[in-house]
Structure 1
Amino acid sequence: MARVLVTGGTGFIAAHVIRVLLAAGHTVRASLRDRARAGALHALLAAAGTEPGDRLTFAIADLERDAGWAEASAGMDHVLHVASPFPAGVPTNPDELIRPAVDGTLRVLRAARDAGVRRVVVTSSFAAIGYGQDRRKTYFDERDWTRPEGRDVQPYMKSKTLAERAAWDFIAHAGGTMELVTVNPVGVFGPALGPDLSTSVSLIKAMLDGAIPACPRLYFGVVDVRDVAELHLKAMTNPAAAGERFLATAGDCLSMQQVAQCLRAHLGHEAARVPRFELPDPLVRLAALAMPMARAAVPQLGIVRNASSAKARRLLGWTPRPAEEAILASAESLIRLGLVKG
């Protein structure tokens, strides 16, 4: 069994990754920015039915500072670098996202190399693969890279692209014998374990709350967080994963309206506030004059970007749940946690 550092331990993906690692018998050290968050992580794991005992410890480290990363990495066999900022809106200053993502990734990699870590798995994103491209291109795999200068590339997409590029460059020139794998999920849904929601799950909450009166013509890939966590475990342990990128998706894109239809079809009265209609593009552009979230949607209207998980299925034996199951798991967890408006 391995000793594994997981960065950003209380994050949506990270908590599920820690759950999977513990279930597989590994020992986990979770990095936190504040030791007071340790109780929150224990609560998240308890919600998932996991009692870590003494196999979970903590290290205090911040992606924006050097302090703490050497101690966090000491004695570790592997590092799963999951932490990265992902805001709901578009920041005024893109560097608010880009600098922590890039510099933080390099801090983690340097500390891991110096500690003799064998393999680092970085949680990247489809955001580093499918944007800034010719709009006629509708299917992507791990050979594709987002072009940061593209017109539809927003700060989050740029941050993930530049951070992953920096990681591969570091391994090529300064990584020594340490191995790197990246996991590139599309939109990550699935069961929330607590009230601090990811951006993707927050979208489901907004639909259930009636905060979205009609669906803009947006399309996105879907994958369940439990499957993303399993893919991290396979990427960490399988010799065939070394030096590879792996897209994580349950299948082709869903439109926002299809997500709404899925919720209404399965949740009955709980979905009474879910939008029924698609919003014409001109109305979204009009709303963008006053609403930052609508402004962020405008460059993506009507664009379909499908992705293939064939590589992860073939090399690692990974089999994700259907997209609809991930969507419903998000909704059901929000209802169970009492986070949907009454």
Structure 2
Amino acid sequence: MSQQAIIVTGASGYVGSYITYQLLEDGYKVKGVARGEKVSFLRNAFAKYPAFEAVEIMDISSGDFSFMRGMDAVIHCAAPMIIEKADHEAALKGAVDGSLHVLQQAKDAGIKKVVVTGSLASFPRFGPYGPDDFHPVTLEEAKSCGNPNLIYTAEKKFADMAILDFADKHPEMDVTIISPTLIIGPLAPGFSHLVPTVNFRAFSSAFYLYSILNGSNPQFPMADSFIDIRDVARAHILALNSPPSSSVGRKRFALKHPDQSNFRQAIELLTAERPLLKERLPPLLSAPVWPENKGKMIDFNNLESILGLKKEVFMSWRDTVLDGVDSYVAVENSWKAKGLEVVSPAR
């Protein structure tokens, strides 16, 4: 099984690059999809792996994926980001069309296994988190609200619905959706090659953890849940060899750590364990304290019985924080070594 050949879309992103790294470390062959200059960045990031190939696609919604032929599976990570100023209707359409195009191209190439990166935002805010549970936002609300977070939620919701509908119509294909909450933790080894110049946007959701190095100007998330990027990558890879939907039903999994995030604890931890960073940390009391979340929990039994993903082995908050911050500092140092000025964006 370890010699399977996998396509990873969005391979230059925070999530896609870690999935690519874990696949290569596990012995898979990987074609990583990116566009523009990111293709050469990808080649540099994974240059030590003979089993890696970077492939360019200019438009995920209409590009030619003929290179999929002969591959065993697709992990589709390319996803819309929350953008403050955008054509909301076009963003919603693009999120759906991109996923459907990848699925159709996979079908045409004879690929029967597809894993898609979703988002916990597509589920009701406090659960339930079953495969057929969705956030109540409507298309009309999303198009008129002007709220980038709600638009992003709608993008993920309606993309998920379209993916599941496609899967229902094509039972010969096995489709899994992995829907994580806020993803933080370390950047993939080699990530500095993906950001050869200062670019914090590439940190994606990991920026929330990085920002506690911004002293008096941290950017804390608005939610208390988290999941380590390493567990997210592992979930995607386990899904490649999970039982088919024909035997277990729709495979759409919400994914978050059973514990809540604790940014005050993160500040205390870094103060004690990374004393050289002490002067960069914000005041302890500036970090939020979350009320106990009494919403319905994730169905960890399904994660274990179908994916083989056990919550007991999820990365701890301590490891997420320390390993994450160490990797951010390493990327900072790679920029500084080139003489670049590292200035984190303000809130």
Q: 1:166 maps to what in 2?
A: 162
Whether the 8 Å CA contact 1:215–1:257 is kept in 2: the answer is: no
The one-letter code matched in structure 1 to 2:325 is A
State which of 81, 88, 96 in structure 2 corresponds to 1:94: 88
Partner of 1:148: 137
Give yes or no for contact 1:98–1:155 (8 Å, CA) kept in 2.
yes
Q: Does 1:232 align with 2:221?
A: no
The gaps in structure 2 that reach 5 residues or longer are 334-341
Task: Determine the C-alpha separation between the residues in 2 that align with 1:171 and 1:248.
Answer: 21
C-alpha separation in 2, matches of 1:142 and 1:253? 23
Q: 2:17 maps to which residue? A: 15
Partner residue, 1:52? 49
Q: What's the counterpart of residue 30 of structure 1? A: 32
Does the CA-based 8 Å contact 1:4-1:27 persist in structure 2? Answer: yes
Q: Offset of 1:164 from its aligned partner?
A: 0.9
Aligned ranges for residues 166-315 of structure 1 at < 5 Å?
166-173=162-169, 175-192=170-187, 193-194=191-192, 195=195, 196=199, 197-210=202-215, 212=217, 218-239=222-243, 243-275=250-282, 276-278=284-286, 304=293, 307-308=297-298, 310=300, 311-315=302-306
* Structure 2 equivalent of residue 286 of structure 1: none
Deviation, structure 1 residue 246? 2.0
1:277 to 1:101, Cα distance in 2 relative to 1, 3 A:
same
Alpha-carbon shift at residue 341 of structure 1 (Å): 5.9
Q: Shift in Å at residue 18 of structure 1?
A: 1.2
Q: Check the 8 A contact 2:61/2:94 in 1, yes or no.
A: no
Distance 1:42 1:214 in 2: 32
CA deviations on 1:267-311 (whole Å, 9 max, x unpaired) are: 33414333322489xxxxxxxxxxxxxxxxxxxx97956742512
Is 2:32 aligned against 1:42?
no
1:23-74: CA deviations, max 9, x gaps?
222211111122x32331234336xxxx211x222332244542322x1322
Which amino acid counterpart does residue 146 of structure 1 have in structure 2?
H
CA displacement at 1:168 relative to structure 2: 0.4
Aligned length: 308
| Letter matched to residue 277 of structure 1 | L
Deviation at 1:116, TM superposition (A): 0.9
Offset of 1:321 from its aligned partner? 0.9
Q: Say which SS state the counterpart of residue 147 (structure 1) adopts.
A: coil
With the length of structure 1 as denominator, give the TM-score of the two structures: 0.78
8 Å Cα contact 2:33/2:39 also seen in 1: no
TM-score w.r.t. length of structure 2: 0.77
Q: Is the 8 A contact 1:60 1:72 kept in 2?
A: no
Distance 2:307 2:171 in 1: 25
**Residue identity in the other structure for 2:285:** F
Q: Provide Cα deviations, 1:191-226, integer angstroms capped at 9, x if missing partner.
A: 12234533321122222022626868x323211112
2-structure distance, mates of 1:277, 1:214: 14
Equivalent residue number for residue 338 of structure 2: none
Gapped regions of structure 1 (runs ≥ 5): 132-136, 281-300
> Residue deviations 1:148-190, cap 9 Å, x none?
23889611111111111110011112x2511100111111112
- Post-superposition shift, 1:244? 0.9
* Aligned with residue 121 of structure 1, among 115, 119, 141: 115
SS in 1 for 2:31: strand
Q: What percentage of aligned pairs have identical amino acids?
A: 24
For the residue of structure 1 that corresponds to 2:124, the secondary structure is coil
Q: Superposition RMSD on alpha carbons, in Å?
A: 3.1
- What is the alpha-carbon distance in structure 1 between the residues aligned to residue 172 and residue 203 of structure 2? 34
